[in-house]
Amino acid sequence: MSKKKTTKKDLYKKASKIKLLLTDVDGVLTDTGVYYSAEGELMKRFSIRDGMGVERLRSLVDVETGIVTREDTNIVKSRVDKLKIKELHMGVMEKEKLLEEILKRKNLSNEEVAFIGDDTNDISIMKLVGLAACPSDATPFAKKVADVILKHSGGNGAFRDLAELIIEAKMKETKKRKK
């Protein structure tokens, strides 16, 4: 079942409520490419601009970022450490069940959480959050349930697109309240 089309006004309203942005890794923070050697997974490519999105969310509008992924690699851990992300969940098969735990622990509502995913294993959590997004090159399954399909592809600025949308919406909301 697909969500009804979200208008720009509705999108900004949803984005202004976000306190936690959760993201998948492969296909969102990476370009879906993986380099293997005889020893196993060797490299993944991450966008520096996406990393700046994490920092801008934290410093400008006090939005926390978290990782929820099936992956369980030192590569992901290294990226998370560099970005100083505290909410890290690797090896997660049922992301929607983890969301329940996060909501309780952080005392958040579904509407205060955004998720960016790109494939079938992200759909269940995308249907539960206040703002669901996917990169431009996401699967048709993810696009069908997303509130917003971002301009950039995974690993090439899609996360940053959503970060800037949330920042802009929250800043507009703050200005509106001050009037």
- What are the tens digits of pLDDT across the range 80-92? 999 999 999 999 9
What is the distance between the alpha carbons of residues 112 and 22, in angstroms, rounded to a whole number? 11
- Residue type, position 75, single letter: I
Among residues 154, 133, 137, 156, which one has the least CA distance to residue 47? 156
pTM of the complete model = 0.93
Enumerate domains of the chain plus CATH numbers. 8-178 (3.40.50.1000)
Is 60 exceeded by the pLDDT of residue 2?
no
Q: Which of 93-97, 118-122, 143-147, 174-178 has the lowest mean pLDDT?
A: 174-178
Whether residue 168 has pLDDT greater than 70: yes
* C-alpha separations of 53 from 26, 64, 94, 103 in Å: 17, 11, 26, 23
**pLDDT tens for each residue of 86-141:** 999 999 999 999 999 999 999 999 999 999 999 999 999 999 999 999 999 999 99
pLDDT at 23 over 60: yes
